[in-house]
Structure 1
Amino acid sequence: MTTNYMSNYSYGPDCFKEIPEVLDKYKVHKVIFIGGEKALKSLQADVKSVLENNGFAVTGSFVYGKDATQANIDRLVATPEVQDADIIFGFGGGRALDTVKMVAKALDKTIFTFPTICSNCSAGTGISVLYKEDGSFDRYGYPDVPAHVFINTSVIAKAPKEYFW
């Protein structure tokens, strides 16, 4: 028998206000941001403001790459700012979050996710789809489920319509 724990969720247009309360039980001081380029541009300022106004430090912000590949995972795992963080915040859609979950697994760090589209389950699952450098399927990875998912419904509602399928 295999047991898989489910992620906790905060949702709604003001869910980022709950970040300090949620982080409190994890004894976190330093956070790293990793995600898709568009996701980071649209979310990180708001999330960083909440963190800094509540005494948390952001050690850096990194774009995950263009695909969920082992090379991107390895690059991020080797990044000192990622290694130095107490917790990882992952931003974006499926491939970005699949990459970030595998980084968290490799570094034995807790991950919180911030999905930007509603058409994927990556934000709250214990599986990652990984690709080869040529874009073809490589394998499945089995990271831990994210500890918490922050679903900002205003962000999801503004996603391009082709992601609502």
Structure 2
Amino acid sequence: MTNIIISPSKYVQGRNELYNLYEHVHSLGNKFLILASENGIKRTKNIIENSFKNKDSKLVFEPFNGECSKNEIERIKKVLIEESCNVIIGIGGGKVFDTAKAVGYYSHIPVVIIPTIASTDAPCSALSVIYTEEGEFSEYLFLPKNPEVVLVDTSIISKAPVRLLVAGMGDALATYFEARACVRADANTMAGGKATQAAFAIAELCYKTLMRDGLKAKLAVEKKVVTRAVENIVEANTYLSGIGFESCGLAAAHAVHNGFTVISECHHLYHGEKVAFGTIVQLILENSPSEEIEEVINFCIQVGLPITLGDMGIHDLREEDIMKVAEVSCAEGDTMHNMPFKVEAEDVYSAIIAADNLGRMYK
């Protein structure tokens, strides 16, 4: 049995930390390609240039075209070669990260990730999700290593819409319960082995942090301020959840999320919002203690995550639609099969209906 934990080489987080970018990345190279949306470049360019002022380094700012596609990856690779850059920095959200990580992999150069939102645990992962030009899923690109540096400026994160932070909490909410299921099942993780004690402890800390500081962080970010609770939740959403899911594994919660992607009424939801409801469904599948389920539901109510199908946008409940969700969640190769017992589509259907009914009781 091989136990493996993987993570970024360096994780940096703090208020106004972008001003210190040079100090954290100068050892990686001296010619930096900075990939961000046009708005992202406008927001960060002056700060980054001041960080590198009077330093022997070259900065090239390149606008991201909006989709992590093979064509976009090839386009950025060409810019990288033309400008002789030896480090790539991705600033923004998930598709920018995925593109930067893929370009770094194919070009054999270090990758730096700077999230401007804390809505998922993607910044720390050794994975890129590739889409078509039309935005449809194409393939997963599993990378041999995580980014060299992940830098999180919480003063930037706190200015983003609060719903994004809450969605990140929804994604992080599943981390401990999916890790626990994978450990019980002795399942292989995305790191290529079994979970380490350290990774499982990180997953458990992620959950404890959410319960302790989630509501406080939401209330602070509603006012665009950074408190200790905000720092803790950003770390939970980004780093603790990132290490926890990648080095412990995913299970039913994310599989149920995948199932709900086939329902058009749910397309307005963020990833973490669907995962949060999937977490409740997983706990129903496991027949977890009532106290545990109640704690999760109360947390979701406090911060504004969905606990019913109505909250998910499904008001006209059709049996065939929910069964389709259940069938997709049990597809071959999906993470539902990391549960420590056999799960059929009928089991998932029943758990979704039961979770919805339980959530209605709290309404």
TM-score by length of 2: 0.42
Matched, 1:9 2:1: no
Gaps of 5+ in 1: none
> In structure 2, do the counterparts of structure 1 residues 37 and 16 end up closer, same or farther at CA, with 3 Å as the change threshold?
same
CA spacing shift, 1:3–1:106, aligned 2, 3 Å = farther
For residues 21-63 of structure 1, the C-alpha deviation after alignment (integer angstroms, 9 at most, x for no partner) is 333433x2211111223222212221121013333221x2112
**Structure 1's 4 and 12: CA in aligned 2 closer, same or farther, altered over 3 A?**
same
Which structure has more helix as a fraction of its residues? 2
Aligned partners of 2:91 and 2:18: how far apart in 1? 13
Work out whether residues 32 and 82 of structure 1, in 8 Å CA contact, stay in contact via their aligned partners in 2. Answer: no
1:21-36 superposed matches below 5 A: 21-26=23-28, 28-36=29-37
CA separation in 1, counterparts of 2:95 and 2:22? 27
1:1-165 to 2 correspondences below 5 Å: 5-7=6-8, 8-26=10-28, 28-58=29-59, 60-80=60-80, 84-143=84-143, 144-164=145-165, 165=167
Contact 2:19 2:50 in 1 (8 A): no
- How many angstroms does 1:10 deviate by? 1.2
Q: Aligned partners of 2:68, 2:110: CA distance in 1, in Å?
A: 19
Structure 2 Cα separation of the partners of residues 24 and 77 of structure 1 = 21
Whole-angstrom distance in 1 between the partners of 2:3 and 2:140: 17
**CA 53–122 in structure 1, closer or farther in 2 if over 3 Å, else same:** farther
Cα gap change, 1:145 to 1:54, in 2 (>3 Å)? same
Greater shift after overlay, 81-90 or 118-127?
81-90
* CA spacing shift, 1:78–1:4, aligned 2, 3 Å: farther
Shift of 1:89: 1.1
Contact 1:77 1:83 in 2 (8 A): no
Q: Structure 1: which amino acid aligns with 2:148?
A: A
CA distance in 1, matches of 2:82, 2:17: 25
Q: CA offset at residue 138 of structure 1?
A: 0.4
Aligned Cα RMSD in Å? 2.0
Gap change, CA 1:82 and 1:92, over 3 Å in 2: farther
Rounded Cα–Cα distance in structure 1 between residues aligned with 2:33 and 2:46: 13
Query: Relative contact order, CA 8 A, sep 6+: which one is greater?
Result: 1
Between the aligned partners of 2:77 and 2:151, the Cα distance in structure 1 is: 23
CA contact (8 A) 2:19 2:47 kept: no
- Counterparts of 1:95 and 1:82 in 2: how far apart (Å)? 23
TM-fit CA distance, 1:157: 0.3
Change (3 A) 1:46 1:2: farther
Q: Deviations over 1:91-135 (max 9, x none)?
A: 010011111110111111101111000012221110111111121
**Alignment partner, residue 325 of structure 2:** none
Give the structure with higher Rg (CA).
2
The 3-state SS of whatever aligns with 1:52 is coil
The answer to whether the Cα contact below 8 Å between 1:87 and 1:111 also exists between their aligned partners in 2 is yes
Matched residue SS, 1:154: helix
Unaligned runs of 5+ in 2: 168-363
In 1, Cα distance between the equivalents of 2:125 and 2:62? Answer: 22
Give the Cα separation in 2 of the matches to 1:32 and 1:75: 13
Percent identity (aligned): 23
